[in-house]
Amino acid sequence: MGCGVSNSQDTDLQAMSHSEKTIKSALLIQRWFRSYQARMETRRRCTWSIFQSIEYSGEQDQHNLYNFFNDMLLTLGGNNKSKVYAESNKDDEDDELSEYVIDHSYDGPHPTFPLSHETMLDLIEAFKKKQVLHTKYVLKILKQMQELLKERPNISQATTAIAKQITVCGDLHGKIEDLFLIFYKNGIPSADNPYIFNGDFVDRGENSIEIAMLLFGFQIVYPNEVYINRGNHEDHIMNLRYGLIRELQVKYKSYTQVILKELAHVFGWLPIVTLIDKKILVCHGGVSDMTDLEYLSTIERQKYLSVLKPPLKDGSMPLEGIKEEDIGERIDLKEWRQVLDVLWSDPKPQPGCTPNKFRGGGCYFGPDVTKAILEKHNLKLLIRSHECKQNGYEYSHDGKVLTVFSASNYYEVGSNRGAYIKFGRDLKPHPVQYMYVASTSTRPLTARQNLSIIEESALRNVREKIIANKTVLLEAFKQSDPNDTGFITQTQWAKAMSEALQLDLPWLTIRSQLIKMNDDGCVEYVTCLQQEINFNGSRLNGPSFTEVIYRNKTALETIFRALDKDHSGCITMDEFSEGCKLLSQHLQTQMSDEVVSDMAKSLDINKDGQIDFNEFLEAFRLVDIQEKNLQKNQENLDKLKSHADLNQIANGDENQNSV
């Protein structure tokens, strides 16, 4: 019996030992997995920070340049002030559109008027097949939309009393596949399925005009069930930079200008705010400590064809840039702020209301501001968009603010989900997430592979910024390296990067991707400046031409499109001349007609009488080459002079003349 007991104890001990090993292994795996998840989350947040910082930096640049762009648009578009975008006359609509003949070569959709639910379904199917709607139909929908919006107040009143539900969508930014996915999951807009589209449905993506046609068409069919708020991108100044005008040029060629004018007028008439059952405030950006819905309801919103370009107090449009010290005297600052803040603002966790310097427009509003505005107007919740969120939506301010963003894969494929918000009669928000995935025969990527692709895309954006600012960065690095050792501390490097590029990024977290360090942990800062990326098939690493192009490429393209007033894709000699005159006024310099003519002929490399974008950029390359040649010649002269001085010292004055 003793042996039996001993054997039984040994077996129990072995079992306990095996169980302990299993538990320890499980704990080890769990600890490793949590560590892995933490590293992945750190990488995700870092990547997200890069994307958002660079996006908002671009919007800030647009604000900084808006005086020049406004002046250019107004001068090139004609000196007719607020009547640049002429209102349509309903009685003459058919006569106006008669010139747009639909010939036999057109293979797109043929919507029937008045528009119906069935017509809109046909339009959806046509857009799924990548068909382009004819100019005549586009203009007809835009003119009908204008007439509808003129009868609407600044603040729309939506209700759940009839349909027992309503859906709120955020930014779509030209991503029509997301709109199709929303309609598939949530249903087509109808009397029983009302929608609110909260602005920024254009720019950035490839199908802004198609989304506009669908949203406008559905509101025409269901004027009491479909609501569209204006966003900060429903603005013709923003459209110059962020893609809508480029899209129209590709699809509508010489008809771009007339479509753009009608679009800008519709954008100006879009309501600014929507209230759901008078309890939920829906607006694109947010609020500020100045927001007053009663005052906002009295504003003539159509005056603000561009929120970046406020009208003067007499109702006219400014022909010259407004100096900061003159803003209060020349425009109605209170009225402008009401519109600007609602379209451009962002929530922040800290209390108070401060200027949104990150974007360059609107404000940062804290939870105390949200509480005050909601209590003032007896509201329960603020629904806003304007910011891309990784999960498609995000609560803030103790659940009083809900951000919804409907464009999935916004920065890169897999970067974020899209979402929409469902409300029932109880007015409780129910977010619905999704992500558009293109059908492909390739094997799906793992989460780690997908994150690596997104991360590399973000780092490419950082490298572009570095290439565009090599000279500035080198000067900043050298200030921390007075002995010219070629090395600085990691903290000094991060500070220089932040100040020179004006980007608040986790530089120390991403340093291994951008720099090399010595054994002491110091940064060899020249390695930071040796970034290489592909640009138009060539590997570029600056600083000269590459630096000029990368620093100014978006501004150059915006200037080109502003000069190209008929949006044909080319600048005529007359358009270039008008642009130069404006630039001359802006810089307060004199430029004769002969000089302008010579410049235009020089830019017209192929001598076809007009300047395309490649020729426009080539001018900057040629100027840069001349600068480099001048610098090189100066360096050679300096070397010769130095060589002559040395010979003179070594051989005496007799060799001076020969040298």
Rounded distance between C-alpha atoms, residue 500 and residue 388, angstroms: 26
Rounded distance between C-alpha atoms, residue 1 and residue 243, angstroms: 89
Bridge partners (DSSP) listed for residue 610 = 572
Specify the DSSP class assigned to residue 445. Answer: P
Query: Would you say 411 and 56 are in contact if contact means Cβ atoms under 8 Å apart?
Result: no
Rounded distance between C-alpha atoms, residue 535 and residue 558, angstroms: 19
Rounded distance between C-alpha atoms, residue 49 and residue 170, angstroms: 21
Single-letter residue type at 116: S
Rounded distance between C-alpha atoms, residue 196 and residue 144, angstroms: 19
Side by side, the strands of the sheet bearing 418-424 are 226-228, 195-197, 165-169, 418-424, 429-434
Closest to 126 measured CA to CA, from 102, 106, 154, 146: 106
Query: Would you say 356 and 344 are in contact if contact means Cβ atoms under 8 Å apart?
Result: yes
Rounded distance between C-alpha atoms, residue 150 and residue 26, angstroms: 67
Bridge partners (DSSP) listed for residue 433 = 419
Rounded distance between C-alpha atoms, residue 12 and residue 3, angstroms: 14
Closest to 77 measured CA to CA, from 575, 597, 577: 575
3-state helix, strand, coil in the chain (%, to 5): 55, 10, 35
Rounded distance between C-alpha atoms, residue 107 and residue 323, angstroms: 51
Catalytic pick from 134, 173, 233, 284? 233
CA-CA distances (angstroms) from residue 454 to 51, 448, 507?
A: 10, 10, 17
- CA Rg, the chain, in Å? 30
Rounded distance between C-alpha atoms, residue 250 and residue 596, angstroms: 29
The DSSP bridge pattern shows strands 401-404 and 381-384 to be parallel
233 noted as active-site residue: yes
Closest to 139 measured CA to CA, from 187, 98, 106: 98
Residues 6+ apart with CB under 8 A from 599: 576, 580
Rounded distance between C-alpha atoms, residue 124 and residue 48, angstroms: 33
Quote the tokens at residue 428.
Answer: 């409780």
Query: Would you say 157 and 276 are in contact if contact means Cβ atoms under 8 Å apart?
Result: no
Q: Which residues are catalytic?
A: 233
